[in-house]
Amino acid sequence: MSVCIAVTNQKGGVGKTTTTVSLGASLAARGLRVLIVDADPQANATSALGIKGRDEAGLYAALIEEEPLDRSIEATSTANLWLVPTTPALAGAEVELVTVMAREFRMKRALEPLRAQYDVILMDCPPSLGLLTVNALAAADEVIIPVQSEYFALEGLGHLSKTVEMIRRNLNPQLAIRGVLLTMYDSRTNLAREVEQEVRTHFPATFRTVIPRSVRLAEAPSHGEPITAYDPSSTGARAYEDLADELIERLRERDLIPAVAPLQRARPVAAGTAVPPSEVAHGA
Ligand SMILES: Nc1ncnc2c1ncn2[C@@H]1O[C@H](COP(=O)(O)OP(=O)(O)OP(=O)(O)O)[C@@H](O)[C@H]1O
Ligand SMILES: [Mg+2]
């Protein structure tokens, strides 16, 4: 029982990495064992979690040399949250994968042996539809698509849903769009509200939860910790807590993850503090 989710949008700067790291930390705070895979050569998720990637290990070696991925996994300062870090060397994989056998399925194969150890695997994708993203989509059960609440959001979404359809037809028939997520939402503007309405009309699988624009969310990566540790009572942290609840609800409906104990909200937790086993309700 586990789920593998690609956080993807070919458009840059829409909140993919922020969502991967913040949602991952919020799910981990509920006692779920979460693995974040940094599949973007920009390595933003790696640095946002305060970890330094090593060129000789990590995703690159797993994808190109078929090295086991478990040697690359690093614990983060958040309990229950682990990371497969990356470095800019991963950009080479995009080129080198072109000539390898079964090039679209390298990520799927690398993750397969790890699935039993984690409840949720979240993959942070690069802002492109190249082979790294295709590998993530071929490995995923589900997709979360963050979209910035602005005018061009819908155009990008149309393109992306065609890609998901193509992946479904050719590589991964199970792939489901679990949700579109509105990010950097400014409720004071008419534009944000109009975009929200349009997105919800075209994509009924849009999450109820909307992520507001929040300075604290933008600051957290420079401190190398997720928002749940950096400022747990901020509006950004609360929004990602809500998103975690909503996602858990959707995943539990299909029995994809174990039952979790409800989280006590906005309780400041020091980075690295382990959740006491009594708060972890696995195996329901
Ligand atoms: N809700 C938010 N409020 C304010 N700033 C945000 C929010 N979400 C993300 N940001 C900031 O916006 C920028 C882009 O976010 P992020 O890196 O998460 O996007 P991305 O889609 O991963 O980008 P890329 O396509 O380059 O990988 C970052 O500086 C981030 O800190
Ligand atoms: Mg990113």
The single-letter DSSP state of residue 118 is -
Question: Is residue 279 in a domain?
Answer: no
183 alpha carbon, closest ligand: 1
CATH code of the domain covering residue 242: 3.40.50.300
Question: Is residue 267 in a domain?
Answer: no
* 166 Cα to the center of ligand 2, angstroms: 23
38 is in which domain, residue-wise? 3-257
Question: Alpha helix locations (H) across 144-187?
Answer: 153-170
Question: Is residue 272 in a domain?
Answer: no
pLDDT at 265: 62
pLDDT digits (tens, 9 = 90+) for 124-162: 999 999 999 999 999 999 999 999 988 888 888 888 999
Judged against a pLDDT cut of 50, whether residue 272 lies above it is answered with no
For residue 212, give the ligand 1 atom closest to its CA: 1
Judged against a pLDDT cut of 80, whether residue 35 lies above it is answered with yes
pLDDT at 262: 72
Judged against a pLDDT cut of 90, whether residue 114 lies above it is answered with yes
Q: For the chain, what percent of residues have pLDDT higher than 90?
A: 73
Q: Which two tokens stand for residue 145?
A: 């698509």
Give the number of domains in the chain: 1
Residue type, 148: Q
Residue type, 230: Y
Residue 141, helix vs strand vs coil: coil
For residue 220, give the ligand 1 atom closest to its CA: 31
Question: Is residue 161 in a domain?
Answer: yes
Across the chain, mean pLDDT equals 90
For residue 125, give the ligand 1 atom closest to its CA: 27
Judged against a pLDDT cut of 90, whether residue 270 lies above it is answered with no
* 189 Cα to the center of ligand 2, angstroms: 25
Residues flanking ligand 1, CB < 6 Å: 12-18, 40, 42, 44, 127, 183-184, 211, 213-214, 217-218, 221, 236
Question: Is residue 282 in a domain?
Answer: no
Q: Rounded distance, CA 46 to CA 38, Å?
A: 6
Instruction: Please name the residues in contact with 143: beta carbons below 8 A apart, sequence gap of 6 or more.
Output: 5, 6, 7, 8, 137, 164, 175, 176, 177, 178
pLDDT digits (tens, 9 = 90+) for 191-223: 999 999 999 999 999 999 999 999 999 999 999
